[in-house]
Amino acid sequence: MSQLRITDVKVICTAPNGIRLVVVKVLTSEPGLYGLGCATFTQRPHAVVTAIEEYLKPFVLGRDPDDIEDIYQTAYASSYWRSGPVLNNALSGIDQALWDIKGKRANMPVYQLLGGKCRECAPLYAHASGRDFKEVEENVQRWREQGYRYIRAQVAVPGMATYGSRSMSVAGRPTWEPTPYCRLVPRLFEHLRATFGDEIELLHDIHERVPPIQAIGLAKELEKYHLFFLEDPFAPEDIDYFRILRQQTATPIAMGELFVNQNEYVPLIRDRLIDFIRVHISDIGGLSMARKLAAFCEFFGVRTAWHGPGDVSPVGHAANLALDIACWNFGIQEQTVFPEETRAVFPGCPEIRDGAMWPSDRPGLGIDIDEKEAAKYPFPDLPLNGSWAPIRRLDGTAIRQ
Ligand SMILES: [Mg+2]
């Protein structure tokens, strides 16, 4: 019997709903056997495509796709300088595809390879935002009527380019000031608790938008509204502040969508300074790294809350779901509702109903890509080629966003 080999690596770029998605297809010497992996870094997709096509593809061609861990470790170190969102996403595309292939070979879903089901489905949190409290309230109510028990609430700060809300700006320029935001957010949660009571689980994302000491103040003020979690109070550059924050409030803390390196998240988990790990799985290198991270978190009482916005491809959501189902220390899953065009490109998109994402019993990641459909949606032309334009304070200082 001839040994199975990787025979080709294809990179598929598609934007069915305007978001630039990068998916890797690893083909093997067995006719019809291939795997898919998410390599989506939507702000720098072309850099990831180059990293895969020019460097990882020649590195893995001819390898045995069963050797996931060895391929991961050797590819990771193959650039000598490593880590970072470009190289990690490239690696994730290959890595997730190899897990998909192994699942197909075993005729099992990937969550079975990871230990089997800890739960039937992954409860989701939905995003509710609005221009004012009333609009946020209406959107929270809309999700509740669809069966959601966990809802992230964000409200626009008048005159400011607010994260997570339809925003307005001063003098036609995206503008942000932290203080009006810090005054407004506790009032939003006071309003939501007064309206909906204590049964609903509420979440909020600061998105690293305020100076660290103001984030600490906000976390303390929000304590009485019993959030499920408060996300990204600090930028990754400011993570030493978690030690101070932890001494002052029991507001549960989620962190990590910008993390790309284990040296960023290991100390926070080891020292029990966060409650939920929020990494974007393709940005830390794929499923192999994420399953280790989840197991590490279990030992320290930290739950998972994998990043799950629209710039995770449906293949990436399927990888999130495999971990959600198999990891005992699952916390919550951020949702994206897949629009019709996206579902047509990705047959087998994870099913969402009753406020949860449901696994299938299809082998591998359980998802496919229709390349003809994908080709209908080339990357759009975007200002600055998709880079984020600066947002500035009133004095002109650019903020992290
Ligand atoms: Mg976030």
- Per mean pLDDT, which range of 164-168, 251-255, 390-394, 396-400 is the poorest? 164-168
Q: Residue 80 — very low, low, confident or very high, per pLDDT cuts 50/70/90? A: very high
Q: Residue 401 — very low, low, confident or very high, per pLDDT cuts 50/70/90? A: confident
Give me ligand 1 centre to Cα 164, in Å. 9
- Choosing from 76, 125, 163, 181, the catalytic residue is 163
Give me ligand 1 centre to Cα 204, in Å. 9
Q: Is 272 left (phi over 0), alpha (psi -120 to 50) or beta?
A: left
Q: Residue 170 — very low, low, confident or very high, per pLDDT cuts 50/70/90? A: low
pLDDT above 70 (res 169): no
Residue of higher predicted confidence among 116 and 174: 116
Give me ligand 1 centre to Cα 385, in Å. 22
pLDDT above 60 (res 221): yes
Q: What's the whole-number mean pLDDT along residues 275-294?
A: 98
pLDDT above 70 (res 168): no
pLDDT above 70 (res 51): yes
For residue 98, give the nearest of 67, 77, 62 by alpha carbon: 67
| Helix, strand, coil percent content, the chain, rounded in steps of 5 | 40, 15, 45
pLDDT over 70 for what percent of the chain?
A: 98
pLDDT above 60 (res 1): no
- Choosing from 204, 207, 307, 317, the catalytic residue is 207
Q: What is the pTM of this model?
A: 0.97
CA distance 114 to 102: 11
Give me ligand 1 centre to Cα 206, in Å. 8
pLDDT above 90 (res 17): yes
Give me ligand 1 centre to Cα 59, in Å. 34
Measure Cα distances from 210 to 104, 299, 333 in Å: 46, 31, 25
Q: Residue 167 — very low, low, confident or very high, per pLDDT cuts 50/70/90? A: low
Give me ligand 1 centre to Cα 234, in Å. 11
Measure Cα distances from 73 to 91, 183, 319 in Å: 10, 47, 19
Mean pLDDT of the chain: 96
pLDDT over 90 for what percent of the chain?
A: 95
Class of domain 112-362: alpha beta
Check if 207 is active-site.
yes
Q: What's the whole-number mean pLDDT along residues 273-278?
A: 98
Give me ligand 1 centre to Cα 304, in Å. 14
Q: Residue 173 — very low, low, confident or very high, per pLDDT cuts 50/70/90? A: confident
Q: What's the whole-number mean pLDDT along residues 150-168?
A: 87
CA distance 258 to 264: 10
Helices (H), 175-274: 178-196, 212-222, 241-246, 262-270
Greatest Cα pair distance in the chain? 70
Q: What are phi and psi of 359, to 5 degrees?
A: -80, 155
> Which residues, chain by chain, have CB under 5 Å from ion ligand 1?
205, 257
Model pLDDT, residue 165: 78
Boundaries of every domain in the chain:
112-362
Give me ligand 1 centre to Cα 279, in Å. 9
Angle at CA 322, nearest 5°, toward 143 and 340?
Answer: 50
Give me ligand 1 centre to Cα 278, in Å. 8
Q: What's the whole-number mean pLDDT along residues 105-111?
A: 98
pLDDT above 70 (res 26): yes
